[in-house]
Chains A and B, each alone.
Chain A
Amino acid sequence: AQKVTQAQTEISVVEKEDVTLDCVYETRDTTYYLFWYKQPPSGELVFLIRRNSFDEQNEISGRYSWNFQKSTSSFNFTITASQVVDSAVYFCALGTSGAGSYQLTFGKGTKLSVIP
């Protein structure tokens, strides 16, 4: 069975601080995909990034960066120089294609509040 754990329920930071959101996953599949989504107060889930299990290269996109480590089954997300617009709930999700299943398993989310 697949499982995603986001241990941080809520985080508050002051604007311009860096913040890291943790994600730990469990799966027995050797091929899997990891995602981060942002859910602002408006409610729509916004896709941020996708990572394949065979590609551990970290990625940076502007103020966002992701650290994928298979050895610790973690896929952490760092926001540098946070802004008020970053305030949202962030979800980590795991997708596997074993037996043709294409569902995503989501963590419970981390609510990030950036205080001006």
Chain B
Amino acid sequence: AQSVTQLGSHVSVSEGALVLLRCNYSSSVPPYLFWYVQYPNQGLQLLLKYTTGATLVKGINGFEAEFKKSETSFHLTKPSAHMSDAAEYFCAVSESDNYGQNFVFGPGTRLSVLP
């Protein structure tokens, strides 16, 4: 079975500082990896996803993530944090059946951005 871990349930950065949110996965097959963001009292919004091809994936709002198979990691980064980046971030690995796609979500990381 696939699983996802996110190191750090809460990360605080200063505005303008580098954002690094960690995600590690375990999978017996090539993984399909996703990062979603959730603002308070909202649904989840896709930031980016890795399926195949280029291992450095660029997403919305200036975020990017790099798939490293040797490290089983898919860490999310942003060079310069903005106050509007404060939210909960979920990493997920995808597996599907005949009915749909089963996301295995990590526990989430809450990002705080300090002025």
A, B from the same assembly: no
